[in-house]
Amino acid sequence: MLKGSTMKTDIDVVVCEVGLRDGLQSIAQFFPTAEKIAWIQAEAAAGVPAIEVTSFVPATLIPQFADAQEVVMAARAVAGLRVDALVPNLKGAERAMALGVNSLDFVMSVSRTHNLKNVRREREESIEEFKRIVSMVRQLPPQQRPRLTPGLGTALGCSYEGAIAVDEVVKCAVALAEAGADEIMICDTVGYADPVLVKKVFTAVRSAVGSLPLGAHFHDTRGLGLANVTAALDCGVRRFDASLAGLGGCQFAPGATGNIVMDDLCFLLDAMGLRTGVDLDKLVSVRPMIARNLPDVPLYGGLARSGLPRNYVPAAQRAALTNLIF
């Protein structure tokens, strides 16, 4: 497994499905392992290039992820798929690495209160833990190392603390960058962001961490998710997390609801002429896999409700036409 070897080069924006982790973590009902694997395979077949397939938290804490090993093994067998996993600590990172996970999504919150509730650590302790993970990863030869892609939760607001100072986000991002992150996800865990704040935060972090890639993880809690995506695009962000049908939430963040809807995100990007590698019709056809396993969970999304515009031409085909013309 080469670091980054699963990245596709004919896409403009990398979308990462996080429904299997962020979506399922707040749902008590166990999603059968075979069904998780079928979901991963189907979404990868629709062209989604990266999937956060599980979380390496203790199964005693979140039984939903007791099958992490089996899920990762199956996901790794999917050709071309970048397999991400959430790792809350060194122990989790160790388990994920042993299984050949491509991206280690370490998580900490900019909000001190949320970090204490979510991972029971001071933020400084989280940074120290991340450094230990970096050290462990660096014991491998460079070409065998997983990508280190930590996420900064509550970076755009916190349901415990309210507004979060931009300086605090920058401070945490710089600490993660200096510690050895390959990419940093800026996360609006509870859906407090607006396009102006997004531009403020991403611009500030960008100027502090140089060319380090930044990604965005938005929730659609108050309906502003895709507006925030366009603001992040304006800041040069080219990686976005989302969950199919908007599944998601956070059990330690009161009022939080789902991630932005993957299908609508892919339609937004594609309509804007940005290639994602995703076949929109195939993607929408994966939704019943969620519905049949979670009949009582609300699913969201406009594309699935209304279908593609008449005579819609996907971005990849438009690009080809452009190439022909110019």
Query: How many positions of this chain bind a second copy (CB under 8 A)?
Result: 44
SS3 of 41-56: HHHHHCCCCEEEEEEC
Position 312 contacts a second copy (CB under 8 A): yes
Closest listed residue to residue 226, CA positions, set 187, 183, 269, 184: 269
- The pattern of x and - marking residues 123 through 162 that bind a second copy according to CB under 8 A reads ----------------------------------xxxxxx
Q: Exactly one of 1, 271, 297, 319 binds a second copy (CB under 8 A); which one?
A: 271
Q: Are 233 and 276 contacting, i.e. CB atoms less than 8 angstroms apart?
A: no
C-beta of 15 vs 78, nearer to a second copy: 15
Residue 293: partners with Cβ closer than 8 Å, 6 or more residues away: 31, 32, 35
Query: Measured between alpha carbons, how far is 238 from 230 in angstroms, rounded to an integer?
Result: 11
Q: How far is the CB of 264 from a second copy (least distance, A)?
A: 4
Give yes or no for residue 314 binding a second copy (CB under 8 A): no
What amino acid is encoded at 10 in this protein?
D
**Closest of 9, 17, 16, 100 to residue 56, by C-alpha:** 100
Per-residue contact flags (x/-) with a second copy for residues 210 to 249, judged by CB under 8 A:
----------xxxxx-xx-xxx------------------
Indicate the residue among 39 and 267 with the shorter CB distance to a second copy.
Answer: 267
Burial 158-178 (b: 16+ CB within 10 A, else e): bbbbeebebebbbebbebbbe
Q: Of 16, 158, 172, 250, which is the active-site residue?
A: 250
> Binding to a second copy (CB under 8 A): which residues in 159-198?
159-163, 190-192, 194-197
Catalytic sites, residue numbers: 250
Where along the sequence are the contacts to a second copy (CB under 8 A)? 157-163, 190-192, 194-197, 220-224, 226-227, 229-231, 255-257, 261, 264, 267-268, 271-273, 301-303, 305-307, 309-312
